[in-house]
Structure 1
Amino acid sequence: MNKAKFALLLTLILLFPMIISSGSAHIRPQQMAVTLPATSPVEKSAASKTFGIIYPMTYPTYEMITKDATEYAGKHNITLIVNAPDEANTEQQIRIMENMIKQHVDGIAISPVDAAALTPVIDAAQAAGIPVITFESDVPTSHRIAYVGADNYRTGQQFAMTTTRLLHNQGMILVENGLEEMQGLQQRLNGFIDYIRSETDIEILEVRYHQGNEDQAMSDMENMIQAHPHFNAIIGLDFVSVSASTLIWKAKGLNRHLIAFGDSPTSENGLLNGQLSAVISQNEEVWGTKMMETLLLASDGVPVKEFIDTGIIEINQEAIN
């Protein structure tokens, strides 16, 4: 073999491993991508989920909860479908939920207007393999897997204890509540009345329901104030009552106690401006995250706690400052 042929052969020998190596590096990932099982843990954890949230009605406080849920969803590859009747309406809630079942969402969170009416559709979702959780108001007789919120009877008792302290265990009060058929709000009212009647000398002059309508809430309170001018406090047990009552306090310049429900920009402003004496909250600002966390676990088949307790707190002007 002459020197030229020997040099050519030597070059080919040296280059051959590089060609194999380069070819293998290009082919192997393609093979892995083709043979990787579709149900592998890697793909499952990265798969997008779609969750639905159904509110009793459209209202600013629920926008805060949606914002919290949306921030969590954005970090966990979750698509949210958020819906609510324009005004509290059981039939619309049922239709919204039925549509979500038809869309085969991966989970639903609902604050039910009417527990008895929503039970069959909640059970239908569960039967279709869609985990359902409730928040704000529970439906324990249904097949829902969890409730996110606080004990509403105990929340009513906390309202009563705060009222008792502010009124020094005496006086006359007016009460405004939301949806008469909403189980959570009825439990809240029952806890409040039971404590006031058994533990205090306070007289409940009148209780009214605005049925989720802010204009009706304002009308109710104005009529109660006119009928009972010597009242000492108004108690608003739901989200809608707080905005209506602070508007009345601002317009009339009332120097009476006003106790409201729900930590929101409206209630915080009411405390700072001296219109509200106290706010009872179930830490609503974390509901969105807790709902998403629970649905994410449940949709992956992981057991969840039946009661995700967000607690009950009293907020006053000192706490806000």
Structure 2
Amino acid sequence: MNRNRRLITSALLATPFAGLALDLNKAWAQGAAKKYRFGFSQVTTLEPWRVQFNKDMKAEAAKHPNVDLVIADGGDRTDKQNADMENFITQKMDAIFISPKESAGLTGVTEKAFKAGIPVFVLDRPVNGDAYTQFIGGDNVVIGREAGKFIVKELGGTGNAKGNFVEVWGGFGTQASHDRHDGAFESIGKEPGIKVLGQRVDCDWKQDKAYDYMKTVLRVNPQIDFVFAHNDPMAYGSYLAAKDAGLEKKIKFVGADGLPNEGAVWVQQGALTATFVYPTPGAEGIRQALKLLGGEKIEKKILLPTQGIFASNAKQFVAS
């Protein structure tokens, strides 16, 4: 009789713990199965750097089965990006990512999403103000600074640099272009022996527009020593214009981005003298969003480092 009582008592005592264990297992399973929908407004899918950007972001999302990533192509239009962002807000995405064509034109809708309680991650190019969750991107001032120091060194060094210089601008409406200019001129602007030729023309980050611009500049100023373009496609477009004029061997070209199938290859081939890596921020964006949704605190701003690519090390950056 005592033995039976002990068995019954043990069973009664065990029952709550067994139920608790079942509840914990159920809660864990539900947490593990939590699905997140992420919306990404990408300015364009045509530029090679943007293609790599999307590729890296998709690869990171694929590592997380609970993440459904939706990428909207802005078609290089601010109005289309605004519409895509409005759509993501309506769908109540768990997180929204945006890489804006221009800062001012996409500040309003970014703020709207943020105030709606949706985590908003601004990638690559900033918006105005601070109504967003986090900014992730390369440090464009640092990239420009490194390019400027390299150019001054190649033209004779600090205090002795001499030569004719042309800058090829990306986009006047994007902060990245202004930052790369400012960084470069921290060094170049201090050298009275460096003569800046040409006018400021918005080449919109495009190879063909840079080609046309450089072709015009070379007609008036065939004696050019160095060209700094705000990205590699424009640097390569400038090189092609010089090549068509038979002047490519007299000019050195520096760009930025350093993609393994693009800038790194052009340096290895000798078309560009150097480029500086502008890392894509999409993969880090996915990781940061998951941290936030998992209850972790995240920083307001993450700046990704750069590296210089030159003839001496280009091979290690070229895609195999």
The TM-score normalised by the length of structure 2 is: 0.81
Q: Structure 1: which 5+ residue stretches go unaligned? A: 1-27
Moved more, 256-265 or 114-123: 114-123
> Structure 1 residues 129, 238: closer, same or farther in 2, change over 3 A?
same
Question: 1:195 corresponds to which residue?
Answer: 187
Deviation at 1:147, TM superposition (A): 1.6
For residue 152 of structure 2, the aligned residue among 156, 160, 164 is: 164
* Residue type at the aligned position of 2:30: E
SS in 2 for 1:312: coil
Deviation at 1:176, TM superposition (A): 1.0
For residue 49 of structure 1, the aligned residue among 31, 36, 40 is: 36
The 5 Å alignment of 1:210-229 reads 210-229=203-222
Question: 1:107 corresponds to which residue?
Answer: 95
Note if contact 2:232-2:263 (Cα within 8 Å) is conserved in structure 1: no
* Residue type at the aligned position of 2:138: A
Note if contact 1:234-1:259 (Cα within 8 Å) is conserved in structure 2: yes
* Residue type at the aligned position of 2:80: Q
Moved more, 50-59 or 229-238: 50-59
Note if contact 1:250-1:275 (Cα within 8 Å) is conserved in structure 2: no
Question: 1:4 corresponds to which residue?
Answer: none
> Structure 1 residues 275, 240: closer, same or farther in 2, change over 3 A?
closer
The answer to whether residue 130 in structure 2 is matched with residue 142 in structure 1 is yes
Note if contact 1:283-1:312 (Cα within 8 Å) is conserved in structure 2: yes
**Residues in 2 aligned to 1:242 and 1:82: alpha-carbon distance in whole angstroms:** 29
The 5 Å alignment of 1:264-283 reads 264=259, 265-283=261-279
Note if contact 2:205-2:230 (Cα within 8 Å) is conserved in structure 1: no
Deviation at 1:251, TM superposition (A): 4.6
Question: 1:24 corresponds to which residue?
Answer: none
The answer to whether residue 251 in structure 2 is matched with residue 260 in structure 1 is no
The 5 Å alignment of 1:68-147 reads 68-77=56-65, 78-86=67-75, 88-139=76-127, 141-147=129-135
Deviation at 1:155, TM superposition (A): 2.0
Question: 1:298 corresponds to which residue?
Answer: 292
Question: 2:308 corresponds to which residue?
Answer: 314
**Residues in 2 aligned to 1:127 and 1:308: alpha-carbon distance in whole angstroms:** 21
Aligned-residue sequence identity (percent) comes to 23
The TM-score normalised by the length of structure 1 is: 0.81
Deviation at 1:246, TM superposition (A): 4.7
Deviation at 1:76, TM superposition (A): 0.8
* Residue type at the aligned position of 1:63: V
SS in 2 for 1:179: coil
> Structure 1 residues 110, 247: closer, same or farther in 2, change over 3 A?
farther
* Residue type at the aligned position of 1:274: G
**Residues in 2 aligned to 1:252 and 1:43: alpha-carbon distance in whole angstroms:** 66
Note if contact 1:113-1:182 (Cα within 8 Å) is conserved in structure 2: yes
Aligned-pair RMSD on alpha carbons?
2.5
Q: Tell me how many residue pairs correspond in the alignment.
A: 287
